[in-house]
């Protein structure tokens, strides 16, 4: 049976380089955290095939993803998809992460050279591939020196197991320190930083984005729709389509007036709120690709529509009024 995925590259799909690297990635990144438990394996495979059909080549996962199925379950789902062939692996820019506890025993977490070696080999086995395109530090490890971290990564690169390094949830000074230590070893260092970034969460504009831009990292936002708050929750309340979690309800109470103005603005410009929220990120010059985490093909299609949304200066200014952002530090809080 021919398992080759028949690609079509719609005019809406754009590609850009990941940070200062030569690696080309789609302007949307497929997040896979839901794959395994919330989204069954067959549906997960269907969504990944659909992503390729729409030109999305950038997939993100982590060794810890899997929920009640256990750490590593999501990587295993992706690995069985790659195993089907059809150039699925070759057409994918694969990013995974290391840091979280994978077992109840010392040296099975964080960024020691030993854990990086073990965790990478385990991820490659689950993913059924011999290399990872972007190997990302899921969190900063304050107990491990950068000399040790970069030595472990340098070894993995020389072995052909990884190509690029990235970070996630780093502060601006963490990025600067990591890059300084990499340069001292004549290494490329980090090419991307994954941070929470959306209209409701704009703290990274203070120092993370300036540090990333100065050091050649692409910003890859996670939770681009603030856990669903920017996807049209008030409209969903009215039509009964969405049952809000307790955490989302608390944030909705706090930000209800702003979200109401936001949803009204989205209606005024003729797009769904979720499309506007993603489009706003795509208009930010530091952003490479927001991470979308669809549980269904319909959610994937909705995210792809955001690529068609062009926001004019007036609309961007009104969004800034509804959800005030930050100037870079220290100008944000000093003269």
- Residues with a catalytic annotation lie at 65
Q: Residues 290, 29: contact at Cβ < 8 Å? A: yes
Residue 293: count other Cβ atoms within 10 Å of its Cβ. Answer: 21
Give CA angle at 319 (316, 320), nearest 5°. 90
Q: What is the CA radius of gyration of the chain?
A: 20
**H or E, element range at 43:** helix 41-53
Helices (H), 194-243: 208-215, 233-239
Q: Is 15 helix (H, G, I), strand (E, B) or coil?
A: strand
Rounded CA-CA distance 264/74 in Å is 37
Rounded to 10 degrees, the C-alpha dihedral 25/210/194/244 comes to: -110
Return the bridge partners of 30, or none. 59, 292
The structure tokens 């969190």 sit at 139
Return the bridge partners of 29, or none. 58, 291
Q: Is 166 helix (H, G, I), strand (E, B) or coil?
A: strand
DSSP string, 279-335: HHHHTSTTBS-PEE--SSHHHHHHHHHGGG----HHHHHHHHHHS---PSTTTTT--
Q: Residues 141, 149: contact at Cβ < 8 Å? A: yes
Strand pairing category for 24-26 and 15-17: antiparallel
Rounded CA-CA distance 94/254 in Å is 37
């Amino acid at each position: 049976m021919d398992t080759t995925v028949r690609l079509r590259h719609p005019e809406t799909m754009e590609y850009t380089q990941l940070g200062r690297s030569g690696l080309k990635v789609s302007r949307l990144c497929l997040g896979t955290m839901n794959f395994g438990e919330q989204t069954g394996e067959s549906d997960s495979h269907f969504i990944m095939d659909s992503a390729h059909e729409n030109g999305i080549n950038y997939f993100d996962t982590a060794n810890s993803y899997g929920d009640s199925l256990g750490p590593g379950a999501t990587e295993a789902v992706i690995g069985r998809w790659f195993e089907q062939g059809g150039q699925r692996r070759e057409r994918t820019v694969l990013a995974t992460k290391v840091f979280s506890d994978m077992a109840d025993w010392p040296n099975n977490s964080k960024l020691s050279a030993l854990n990086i070696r073990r965790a990478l080999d385990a991820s490659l086995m689950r993913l059924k591939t011999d290399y990872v395109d972007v190997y990302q530090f899921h969190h900063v490890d304050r107990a491990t020196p950068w000399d040790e971290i970069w030595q472990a990564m340098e070894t993995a690169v020389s072995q052909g197991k990884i190509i690029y390094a990235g970070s996630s949830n780093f502060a601006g000074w963490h990025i600067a320190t990591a890059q300084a230590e990499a340069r001292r070893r004549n290494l490329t260092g980090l090419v991307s930083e994954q941070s929470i970034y959306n209209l409701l969460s704009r703290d990274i504009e203070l120092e993370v984005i300036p540090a990333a831009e100065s050091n050649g990292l692409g910003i890859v936002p996670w939770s681009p729709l603030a856990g669903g708050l920017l996807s049209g929750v008030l409209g969903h309340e009215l039509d009964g389509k969405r049952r809000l979690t307790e955490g989302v309800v608390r944030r909705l109470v706090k930000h209800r007036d702003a979200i109401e103005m936001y949803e009204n603005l989205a209606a005024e410009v003729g797009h769904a709120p979720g499309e506007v929220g993603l489009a706003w990120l795509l208009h930010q010059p530091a952003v490479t690709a927001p991470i979308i985490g669809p549980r269904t093909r319909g959610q994937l299609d909705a995210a792809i529509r955001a690529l068609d949304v062009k926001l004019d200066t007036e609309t961007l200014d009104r969004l800034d009024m509804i959800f005030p952002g930050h100037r870079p530090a220290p100008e944000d809080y000093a003269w």
